[in-house]
Structure 1
């Protein structure tokens, strides 16, 4: 199912925009990919922040008790 697209207005560096057009880069797609990358980065940062206490508790448990089922590893 294709994403619903919405027109928007952006202000971009003129020289960068001119060069991108000269190179045949699809400006809308490039902007969308850049925004998607930033969204993914921010989601990951927030997930790590929101779960920091649980991750620290798990890491502490591993330090104190070792990796579960470690005796069954073949490597």
Structure 2
């Protein structure tokens, strides 16, 4: 499976605007802003890439589902359990 992004890429300083009260409260709790933002962005990127993959493969997925509905799954005759 390919990586979502290059984890070895250098860090880059970025200016952000954030709610001042939220910033104050996170700093009071010593929350690492960079690490927290990176984690949130990784999760969002992963979610959106998964959605993008489903959209790009919707036709193939539907064709496969139609095939299985019509013909069954490969190896069904060898399966020893039943649903």
TM-score when normalising by structure 1: 0.89
Unmatched runs of 5 consecutive residues or more in structure 2: 1-6
Match of residue 28 from structure 2: 22
* Structure that is richer in helix per residue: 1
Shift of 1:23: 1.1
In structure 2, the partner of 1:13 is: 19
Q: Where do 5+ consecutive residues of structure 1 fail to align?
A: none
Aligned residues: 75
Deviation at 1:48, TM superposition (A): 0.5
Match of residue 47, structure 1, among 19, 39, 53: 53
* Offset at residue 37 of structure 1 (A): 1.0
CA RMSD of aligned residues (A): 1.4
Tell me: higher relative CO, structure 1 or 2? Use CA pairs within 8 A at least 6 residues apart. Answer: 2
In structure 2, the residue matched to 1:33 is: 39
Q: Following TM superposition, where does structure 1 have runs of at least 4 consecutive aligned residues deviating by more than 2 angstroms?
A: none
